[in-house]
Amino acid sequence: MTFTATKIVAGVISALVGFTLAIQPLTGQSEPPSTTIELAPFLIEPTTTTSSTLYIDPYSTACQQFSALAVNLGWPVEQRDKLEMVMHRESRCTPNAHNKQDTVGQSYGLMQVNSFWCKGPDSYLQKAGLVTSCENLLQAETNLKAGLIIWTRSGWSPWRTAK
């Protein structure tokens, strides 16, 4: 007896169908299949239009994980390397980093966003509806969104270390 690829594939499919039928409920009534798709917790749905959604590798460095999150939040993928460098220089990629001794005011989070951008109801980030206080910037996602808003407006100039 000779086996061909077609016969092998047909046998595997038949076995899978038979197995599926064998584990169906014996009552004859089956529940309709779920139409919801659950994503693994490390995949982040993009909140803005981006060209790709990046897998966040739990075994990569914190800077790599946060830069992948940033791309998923709308940062351009071509800025990822510079973003990692800025986050490392500013906070060592620590989301709750808080510099109370900043010479211009306090700085918050991964990108060390200065309080100039978030302090008071007339501040740029409060007017944008992103934060209600500077402490909101200690959350990684909020900080990266704030960084994107600032970067879109001013480029890398607010982070002098990015030159």
- What CATH number did the domain enclosing 96 receive? 1.10.530.10
- Residue 23 pLDDT: 58
The whole domain housing 84 covers 62-162
The reply to whether 7 falls in a domain is: no
Q: Are 108 and 138 in contact (CB under 8 A)?
A: yes
| Beta-sheet strands, E only, within 115-157 | none
- Token pair for 8: 């092998």
pLDDT over threshold 70, residue 89: yes
* Residue 11 CB burial class (10 angstroms; 0-12, 13-18, ≥19): exposed
Q: What is the mean pLDDT of the chain?
A: 80
The reply to whether 16 falls in a domain is: no
The reply to whether 130 falls in a domain is: yes
pLDDT over threshold 70, residue 41: no
Q: Which of the four pLDDT bands, split at 50, 70 and 90, describes residue 162?
A: low
The reply to whether 44 falls in a domain is: no
- Provide the whole-model pTM: 0.66
Domain count along the chain = 1
- Residue 57 pLDDT: 86
The CA distance from 52 to 80, in Å, is 13
Question: Which of the 8 DSSP states describes residue 96?
Answer: T
Q: Which of the four pLDDT bands, split at 50, 70 and 90, describes residue 16?
A: low
The reply to whether 47 falls in a domain is: no
The reply to whether 78 falls in a domain is: yes
Q: Which of the four pLDDT bands, split at 50, 70 and 90, describes residue 12?
A: low
Number of Cβ within 10 Å of residue 26's Cβ equals 5
- Residue 19 pLDDT: 52
- Residue 9 pLDDT: 62
- Token pair for 118: 């978030």
The reply to whether 33 falls in a domain is: no
The reply to whether 100 falls in a domain is: yes
Query: What is the greatest pairwise CA distance in the chain?
Result: 83
- Token pair for 128: 């944008």
Lowest mean pLDDT among 44-48, 70-74, 91-95: 44-48
Rounded to 10 degrees, what is the CA torsion of 42, 48, 52, 53? 10
pLDDT over threshold 90, residue 112: yes
pLDDT over threshold 90, residue 81: yes
Per-residue burial over 37-48, b if 16 or more Cβ lie within 10 Å, else e, is eeeeeeebeeee
The CA distance from 49 to 148, in Å, is 13
